[in-house]
Structure 1
Amino acid sequence: MNSFFVTGTDTDVGKTRIAASLLYLARQREMSTAAVKPVAAGCEQTAGGLRNDDALRLQGQCYPSLSYDAVNPVALEPAIAPHIAAQQLEQSLELGQLLRATRKTLATNADFALVEGAGGWRVPLNDDSTLADLAVHLNLPVILVVGVRLGCISHALLTAEAIVHDGLPIAGWVANVIDPSVSCCAENIDSLKARLPAPCLGVVPFCDKTDPADLAPFLQLPSLLDAL
């Protein structure tokens, strides 16, 4: 099984649309797929319970299909940092709880599986743990989504440094252009290619499209699998 942890240089850098597109590519290669977003904030009440748009997009690329709870075991309604949302709801986010739920879904032994974090690498779960601890305990190689905008080089290099410091390999990274007016876009990406300790899995241009079929042509799944 090829399993990876997906993180980003910040929140709103396109982790989910990249993750969903990679899952789509795996399905095109007739691979079974699974995804977990262990904790999601910014959920809406529905007839079926709390639902998060990002988790639903991941669920839509899982084959065989998975229940919503298997994809997103902890759903929080406030659209704020997960640990603050949990505090406001008088709930607790426990690393052990998230590990058990994530491992249960990964135990389906899909050919290709992704665990998507929330926000960046050091997002807190509680006073003692962060989502980085989840990745470390799962011992998963990391896919880094870089939101290409002003300041992205430092953000990307610092995130990569933290991942490596925590003992995990970076399997690859994706340049996702999120600012259409960013100066010297190509030069920024070239600088990242020269400095990040992992292969670039693709450059996704700025666009309003979110359908994985539209974004998949910009990504390279074989390069990711070869990184293992």
Structure 2
Amino acid sequence: MSQTGTVPVTVQGFLDELQATRDAEWAPEQLRAHADLRRSLEENADRERFVRPGDVVPPFALAEVGGGSVVLDDLLADGPVVLVFFRFEGCPACNTALRGYQLTLAPALRELGAHLVIVSPQIAERLAAIKERHGFEFLVASDPDRVLIDSFGIGFAPAEAARDESRGRGVDLGAILGTGDWVLPYPTVVVIDRDRTVRFADVHPDWMVRTESAAVLAAVRPLVGQ
């Protein structure tokens, strides 16, 4: 489906195009395994742990791609903060979704005076590639110690048998992240008000489903008097 002309550009539209490409190119057993894993994550997620509106976020500082730190209190001095959690630099679905956010969310947040920060557990040095690839103008931050991922209850890791299978295919997630750890965040969006209170939180264990920009903007506008 084209993302031009009269068809609205949406994050899910980008992801649907990615899935359509996979449906056309992947073998049936690969598609089944992919769908089964996503279904398992949905069924086994502990939603009681998930961040929710009303939670208060402690002050934090994360390493920023390119040097420096992303300091929550410094950002909140100017306006609300929107955190978008993604898996790692080479994740195809993450690249696809973040391109969607770059088009449909980042410009509107700038106009509203809110900050957009995308966060991954991958070390900052390895996240530089995704920022350069897409020309992101928003902040890209690393949470290798899972300070936020754990406090928001959005982390998950494959079982040891699945890790062994991945290593057998030459895929070592701990090495990819640069931390030796295999914990990834569920795709998550968190909107933080200037008093550090969560006003919106949306978590998707299925990584092919992401929060739409319209929902994020609807949560931010009242915080800036719009």
For Structure 1 versus Structure 2, the TM-score category normalised by the shorter chain is: under 0.3
Q: Point out the structure with the larger strand share.
A: 1
Q: Point out the structure with the larger helix share.
A: 2
TM-score (norm 2): 0.26
